[in-house]
């Protein structure tokens, strides 16, 4: 069953882009356009002495806009000290809840957030209170604490957001293996929808997609089929919907509709294990016997491989790779040049990136395939960290999931605050993969999870490796 998410983890880049598109604050523009240094100095001093947070925040924005990082940091600290119950302190506290992975620690953070900021009239109805309740709820997923998940979801005060929050948590429950709980949560969403009515059709398609996955994972193929069909007929943009719908057809032995879709899934490398296992039965149902099945099935796999190779041959590159200097999980220095003479696969990822982690089972299949080839190296580079313990978090995740990955840490430079390997490879998002030949030349790169199906994914990576080896 394929339910893994396929969206790119480009939140940081989208955030930066959104910031760039915002209209410039006219008060900030007035400051940056001021040519008279005495007038400017007086205005800056007035802002710094102000007892209004928005004034001091404008000063911080001015130093940021003019590239004075030291003064920007100095004024930011001043804001946090002078306005401990203000908007900036609130944003930081809410962000800490978002980044916290320990559910018990997050409970404490939420209680402190409410105690500290709920009395501020300017923040009383801030949506981040409810968002923080949601974030605390999902930190309990995978911890065998369903009652805690429900407690914090139920504490959400905005009824419309609560309906969506239940569906978001149900979606996250898929990734943590909480299928029974996830089904309960998505049922709550549909119960809320039935009570409220007048729901956005696009939301209903998404609710149906999540429900379809969960009912399938819980073995409820008859009950879940209408949800899968609603998502499929609703033309959901998620790439996992068509394979999910096909899995339902196969599970319910509807081979008449399933057979042509099964052919396409195998030919394109998108077939699930169940589709491949039942393909012969569907073939017999369609043809009347199994005559010619073995040859026909083999031809579909051959077509998949030839198609992937032809497409990749068109995309082959010849660019110098950046020779990064980063560390492994034990703090040992590692450089790309250490692997000169070998074909190197770089996979940039982060623990917060769902699509990165969704691709890891397929990446593990590729690693296993080449584990006895001394001339092929896989390096999984953790980058764009959001907390102070990236090595610990990355190492724990890889060990818990039992992946046999060589993990490197592209930590922020303490001075520039940049992730040097990410900058060197000009990352626009993650997951991002680079296949580098024995001479240090980039031969392929890709942004996102890669090919959609398990077979296609592994075949795509393998073909890129083989083409790079032959270069």
Q: Give pLDDT tens digits for 332-356.
A: 999 999 999 999 999 999 998 988 9
Q: Tokens 């492994």 label which residue?
A: 328
In the predicted structure, residue 8 carries a pLDDT above the cut 60: no
- Whether 333 and 458 map to the same domain: the answer is yes
| Whether residues 371 and 325 fall in one domain | yes
- Residue 328: inside a domain: yes
Highest mean pLDDT among 118-122, 144-148, 452-456: 144-148
pLDDT score at 19 = 38
Whether 279 contacts 314, CB under 8 Å: no
**Dihedral of alpha carbons 387, 388, 389, 390, sign:** positive
- As for how many domains the chain has, the answer is 2
Mean pLDDT over 292-298 rounds to 97
Name the H helices within 252-377. 255-267, 273-287, 293-315, 354-358, 360-369
User: Rg of the chain's alpha carbons, rounded to an integer?
Assistant: 26
Provide the angle, in degrees to the nearest 10, between the axes of the packed helices 241-251 and 273-287.
60
Rounded to whole angstroms, how far apart are CA atoms 89 and 97?
Answer: 13
Comparing CA positions, the residue from 379, 366, 381 lying closest to residue 466 is 366
One domain for residues 440 and 341 = yes
Domain assignment of residue 451, yes or no: yes
Percent of the chain whose predicted confidence (pLDDT) is above 90: 81
**Assigned domain for 208 exists:** no
Q: Is the pLDDT of residue 211 over 90?
A: yes
Task: Please state the separation of Cα 139 from the chain's center in Å.
Answer: 16
Q: Identify the burial level of 111 via C-beta atoms within 10 angstroms of its C-beta, where 0-12 means exposed, 13-18 middle and 19 or more buried.
A: exposed
Based on the fold, state whether residues 337 and 459 are members of the same structural domain.
Answer: yes
Q: Are residues 337 and 465 in the same domain?
A: yes
pLDDT at 9: 39
- Helix and strand numbers, DSSP H then E, in the chain: 22, 8
Please report the pLDDT score of residue 39 as a whole number.
Answer: 95
Specify whether 358 is located in the same domain as 437: yes
Phi, psi of 190 (to 5 degrees): -65, -35
Residues 323 and 466 placed together within one structural domain of the fold:
yes
**Is residue 120 a part of any domain in this protein?**
no
pLDDT surpassing 70 at residue 65: yes
The domain boundary residue, chosen from 266, 297, 314: 314
State whether 269 and 340 are in the same domain: no
96 within a domain of the structure (yes/no)? no
How does DSSP classify residue 316? -
Strand 407-409 versus strand 441-447 pairing type: unpaired
Q: 358 falls in which pLDDT band (50, 70, 90)?
A: confident
Q: Do residue 277 and residue 330 come from a single domain?
A: no
Task: Supply the CATH number for residue 361's domain.
Answer: 3.40.30.10
* Domain coverage including residue 293: 253-314
Q: How confident is the model at residue 1 (pLDDT cuts 50, 70, 90)?
A: very low
Note whether residue 466 is domain-resident.
Answer: yes
**Mean pLDDT (whole number) for 290-308:** 95
- Average confidence (pLDDT) over 357-369: 94
Say yes or no: 451 and 427 in one domain.
yes
- Smallest CA-to-CA distance from 1 within 298, 346, 240 is with 240
**pTM (predicted TM-score):** 0.75
Examine residue 89 and state whether it is found in any structural domain, yes or no: no
Reply yes or no on whether the pLDDT at 18 is more than 50: no
Residue 4 maps to a domain: no
Give the model confidence (pLDDT) of 118-137 as tens digits: 999 989 889 999 999 999 99
- pLDDT for 34 equals 93
Let me know whether 404 and 418 are in one domain.
Answer: yes
Query: In this structure, are 309 and 355 located in the same domain?
Result: no
Q: How far apart are the C-alpha atoms of 173 and 140, rounded to whole Å?
A: 10
Element (H, E) at 462: helix 454-470
**pLDDT tens for each residue of 78-121:** 999 999 999 999 999 999 999 888 999 999 999 999 999 999 99
């Amino acid at each position: 069953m394929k339910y893994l998410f396929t969206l790119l983890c480009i939140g940081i880049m989208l955030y930066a882009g959104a910031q760039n598109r915002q209209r410039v604050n006219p008060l900030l523009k007035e400051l940056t356009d001021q040519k008279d240094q005495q007038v400017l100095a007086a205005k800056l001093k007035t802002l710094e002495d102000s007892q209004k947070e928005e004034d001091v925040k404008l000063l911080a924005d001015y130093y940021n806009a003019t590239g004075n990082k030291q003064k920007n940091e100095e004024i930011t600290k001043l804001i946090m000290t002078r306005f401990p119950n203000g908007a900036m302190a609130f944003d930081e506290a809410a962000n800490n809840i978002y980044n916290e992975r320990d559910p018990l620690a997050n409970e404490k953070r939420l209680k402190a957030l409410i105690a500290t900021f709920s009395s501020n009239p300017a923040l009383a109805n801030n949506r981040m209170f409810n968002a923080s309740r949601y974030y605390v709820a999902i930190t309990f997923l995978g911890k065998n604490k369903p009652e805690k998940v429900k407690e914090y979801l139920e504490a959400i005060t905005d009824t419309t957001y609560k309906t969506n929050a239940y569906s978001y948590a149900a979606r996250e429950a898929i990734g943590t293996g909480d299928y029974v709980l996830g089904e309960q949560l998505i049922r709550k969403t549909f119960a809320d929808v039935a009570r409220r009515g007048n729901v956005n059709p696009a939301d209903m398609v998404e609710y149906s997609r999540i429900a379809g996955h969960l009912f399938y994972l819980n073995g409820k193929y008859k009950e879940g089929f209408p949800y899968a069909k609603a998502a499929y007929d609703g033309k959901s943009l998620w790439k996992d919907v068509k394979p999910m719908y096909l899995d339902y057809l196969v599970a319910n032995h509807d081979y008449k509709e399933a057979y042509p879709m099964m052919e396409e899934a195998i030919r394109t490398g998108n077939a699930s294990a169940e589709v491949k296992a039942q393909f012969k039965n569907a073939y017999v149902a369609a043809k009347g016997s199994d005559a010619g099945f073995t040859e026909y099935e083999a031809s579909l796999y051959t077509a998949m491989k030839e198609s992937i190779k032809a497409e990749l041959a068109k995309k082959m590159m010849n660019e110098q790779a950046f020779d990064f200097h980063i560390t492994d999980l034990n703090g040992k220095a590692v450089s790309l040049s250490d692997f000169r003479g070998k074909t190197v696969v770089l996979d940039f990822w982060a623990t917060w990136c769902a699509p990165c982690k969704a691709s890891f089972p397929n990446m593990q299949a590729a690693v296993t395939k080449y584990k006895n080839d001394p001339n092929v190296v896989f390096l999984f580079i953790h980058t764009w960290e959001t907390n102070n313990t990236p090595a610990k978090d990355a190492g724990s995740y890889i060990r818990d999931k039992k992946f046999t990955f060589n993990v490197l840490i592209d930590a922020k430079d303490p001075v520039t605050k940049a992730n040097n390997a990410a900058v060197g490879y000009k990352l626009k998002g993650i997951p991002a993969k680079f296949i580098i030949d024995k001479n240090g030349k980039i031969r392929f790169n890709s942004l996102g999870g890669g090919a959609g199906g398990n077979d296609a994914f592994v075949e795509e990576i393998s073909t890129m490796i083989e083409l790079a080896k032959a270069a």
